[in-house]
Amino acid sequence: MTVTASLYQRRRAPSPDELAGIPWLRVLQPAERDHAVRQLVVTEAEPGEYVCRVGRPVTFWFGVIEGLLKMSAEDSEGRTMTFAGMPRSGWFGEGTALKREPYRYDIQALRKSTIGGIPVDTFHWLLDHSLGFNRFMMHQLNERLAQFISAREIDRLNRPEERVARTLAALFNPVLYPGVSDVLRITQQELAYLVGLSRQRVNEALAALQEQGAIRIEYGGLRVLNLQALRGKGWFVNPERA
């Protein structure tokens, strides 16, 4: 049995609380919302399980109800590049769903995660019938483009502090991830998977960010104190150069 089949077989109807956490449902008219809710399903992905795989056809438009996912792909030389982390309230794969093309990336759960989805035909029905959904999608695609450009920039950064800072900043995007507050529940190992560094290097980078006043490390995660600093506005002072 494949992972995709297993996820699909574990599908169920969403609970009222889960529906309340889906941001795009709020922009729909009542009839549109009713249609979408009838098609919505949720499933549970275990740590390490794949939600989407490179080369497989798109069948659903997915989102994270709760948990954390990683979007990545291998380049021609076999190196893995992480495009984005997907925290709660983030919906993804809209470009693939729009074109109905095979996935060009993998989506993998970094922890046990609750995944929501609507069939790709329902996704296109909303595009054809809902002005609110089209506006939501326009903002989504615009932010996604900026996110991928940023991911390429992060991949070229050499200093761990900058890589960690920019990766954290990307997880606090209010358009793509409206359910994330100023406190991010993430472990150092999960962050290491997203950044592409060892846990020790991530730990050192977080300590430097905290010393500079950009974040505060808390039990089970971290609190952002200066988001603009994390976005790379010249915040970091290298003590060796000061």
Q: Which of 154, 179, 204 is the last residue of a domain?
A: 154
Q: What is the pLDDT along the chain (242 residues), one digit of tens a residue?
A: 344 557 888 999 999 999 999 999 999 999 999 999 999 999 999 999 999 999 999 999 999 999 999 999 887 677 778 888 999 999 999 999 999 999 999 999 999 999 999 999 999 999 999 999 999 999 999 988 887 777 777 767 778 888 899 899 889 888 899 988 888 889 999 999 998 889 999 999 999 999 999 999 998 889 999 988 888 754 454 444 33
Q: Are residues 37 and 139 in the same domain?
A: yes
Q: Are residues 128 and 226 in the same domain?
A: no
**Tell me, what CATH number does 16's domain have?**
2.60.120.10
Q: Are residues 30 and 148 in the same domain?
A: yes
Q: Which of 127, 154, 181 is the last residue of a domain?
A: 154
pLDDT, tens only, 198-212: 999 999 999 999 999
Reduced 3-state DSSP string for the chain:
CCHHHHHHHCCECCCHHHHHCCHHHHHCCHHHHHHHHHHCEEEEECCCCEEECCCCCCCEEEEEEECEEEEEEECCCCCEEEEEEEECCCEECHHHHHHCCCCCCEEEECCCEEEEEEEHHHHHHHHHHCHHHHHHHHHHHHHHHHHHHHHHHHHHCCCHHHHHHHHHHHCCCCCCCCCCCCEECCCHHHHHHHHCCCHHHHHHHHHHHHHCCCEEEECCEEEECCHHHHCCCCCCCCCCCC
| pTM score, whole prediction | 0.84
pLDDT, tens only, 33-47: 999 999 999 999 999
Q: Are residues 25 and 83 in the same domain?
A: yes
The residue type at 43 = T
Q: Which of 154, 176, 198 is the last residue of a domain?
A: 154
